[in-house]
Amino acid sequence: MAERFRDKTETGVRRRRLSRLREFLEDTGQAAGMAEEGLHGADLGLGPPGGANKKIVVVSTEPEFAPALVSQALGVAGRLGTEVVALSVGRPEAESESAHQVKSRELFETRAQQSAENFAHLAREAGVGFRHVIRFGRPADIVGSECARLRRVEFVLAVKEQRGRDGFHVSMPLFEVIG
């Protein structure tokens, strides 16, 4: 009887499991593509919204978030049932703290907060969870470290023009918004 329940190995064809990273990238790309077409979390086989605490990171290297980026992020997050984390990345500061640099940093923070308040208001109306983070440094380093810190980041959204100008690359799925 014990022999009957043993795993039998078949000769000839051996199935290999995809790597977890490749599987994740394929699933994320498929889910994002389906969300673009207007399918919702239940249609995608996802759990209840907010249940898994998954996130979309929306990156802006300018103090203001582009309207096209905001609408795209909220639309996709609403359909996927994920939270939006808005990440404002300011230019890295030089080692010396001159009055001009301090004033420039304060101005960036003020403008970023105002833009995030508008973003948060739209997120509340859409029923999407929202957080805002301001960091200063090289965009590639900041995006990478924030995604690692936040965990469960599904993908990153950025404006194509800003990303091209600032030249940041991330090690996770990145979708660019034109506008």
Would residue 14 count as lying in a domain?
no
CA–CA dist 119, 25 (Å, integer): 27
Domain that holds residue 114: 19-177
CA-wise closest residue to 33 among 178, 177, 179, 175: 175
Contacts of 80 (CB under 8 A, 6+ apart): 31, 32, 35, 41, 44, 46, 54, 56, 154
Residues 134-150: what's their mean pLDDT?
86
Would residue 4 count as lying in a domain?
no
CA-wise closest residue to 158 among 86, 78, 54, 53: 86
Total number of domains constituting the chain: 1
Determine contact, residues 49/41, Cβ cutoff 8 Å.
Answer: yes
Evaluate if residue 170 carries a pLDDT over 80: no
Residues 45-60: what's their mean pLDDT?
65
Q: What is the pLDDT of residue 19?
A: 64
At residue 28 the predicted structure's pLDDT band, cuts being 50, 70 and 90, is confident
Evaluate if residue 39 carries a pLDDT over 80: no
Would residue 72 count as lying in a domain?
yes
CATH number for the domain spanning 36: value is: 3.40.50.620
Out of 19-23, 64-68, 114-118, 158-162, which region has the weakest mean confidence (pLDDT)? 19-23
Q: Record the pTM.
A: 0.66
Mean pLDDT score across all residues of the chain = 76
What digits encode the pLDDT tens for the residues 54-79?
888 899 989 999 999 999 999 988 88
Evaluate if residue 40 carries a pLDDT over 70: no
Q: What is the pLDDT of residue 42?
A: 47
Would residue 3 count as lying in a domain?
no
Q: What is the pLDDT of residue 134?
A: 93
Which position has the token pair 């290297």? 61
CA–CA dist 34, 26 (Å, integer): 12
Determine contact, residues 112/134, Cβ cutoff 8 Å.
Answer: yes
- The structure tokens listed for 76 are 């996709």
Q: What is the DSSP string of 60-79?
A: ESSSSPPHHHHHHHHHHHHH
- The structure tokens listed for 7 are 């795993």
What digits encode the pLDDT tens for the residues 72-108?
999 988 888 889 999 999 887 655 577 888 888 899 9
Q: What is the pLDDT of residue 91?
A: 83
CA–CA dist 86, 142 (Å, integer): 13
